[in-house]
Amino acid sequence: MKQPLLWPLDDDGLVALPLRLYLLLLLLLRPILSWILALTIPEQKGEMLAFFYPDQQQFWLACLLALPTLLLCVALTQRRPKGHAGWFRIWRYGKWLLLATLIPDLILTIRALPPYVAVEQPWLLLAPSLLVIGSLWLLRSRRVPVIFSEWPEPAPAKK
């Protein structure tokens, strides 16, 4: 399917992924990234996770919510001509997977905010603000549906 040249194309002839999408993936993967960060510093593992997620149950719930985004990241790695075409089944629902992760993550993040957060710890409002901006971008962008509807043609087999 040929697209009009409204957006830049990558090396495979597909619409290039915007930096905003990568930043949104990082934002949604923050519990898993904080877990990896805590695992790399073994002597302060508990303290670091407690800084990001004071309640252990909230941490595990956030990791569970991030799994669809992690699955989408794996599908992203296969979005190339030599990648496995079966991942397109997941990729084509990417916008809805991201929204299905964003909305519960936003609710969980808002519920975890301490009282009087705007006065005492205003930097904690950054994550919910970015989640709202990310969800609005996903819903309003004309480029996102095009990105998630494209998949490269399989590379020809070598003889």
Asked if residue 155 is part of any domain, the answer here is: no
**pLDDT reading at 70 higher than 90:** yes
- CA-CA distances (angstroms) from residue 128 to 66, 80, 111, 131, 150? 15, 33, 10, 5, 30
Evaluate whether residue 13 is within a structural domain. Answer: no
pLDDT at residue 1 is higher than 70: no
| Number of domains into which the chain is organized | 1
Across the chain, mean pLDDT equals 85
Q: Is the pLDDT of residue 90 over 70?
A: yes
Q: Is residue 83 part of a domain?
A: yes
Let me know if residue 143 belongs to a domain. Answer: yes
* Within-domain flag for 10: no
Please answer whether residues 78 and 12 qualify as being in contact, where contact means their C-beta atoms are separated by less than 8 angstroms.
no
In a domain, 134, yes or no: yes
Residue 127 maps to a domain: yes
Predicted pLDDT of residue 47: 77
CA distance 126 to 120: 14
The pLDDT value given to residue 4: 53
For residues 83-95, give the mean pLDDT: 88
Give a yes or no: residue 96 inside a domain. yes
Query: Which tens digits make up the pLDDT trace of 117-135?
Result: 778 778 888 889 999 999 9
Q: What letter represents residue 75's amino acid?
A: A
Output the six-digit token pair for 2: 């040929």
Structure tokens at 147: 């990105």
pLDDT attached to residue 150 = 85
42-46, 47-51, 99-103: least confidently modelled range: 42-46
Domain hosting 115: range is 19-149
- Per the CB < 8 A criterion, the answer to whether 152 and 83 are in contact is yes
For position 22, what pLDDT does the model report? Answer: 94
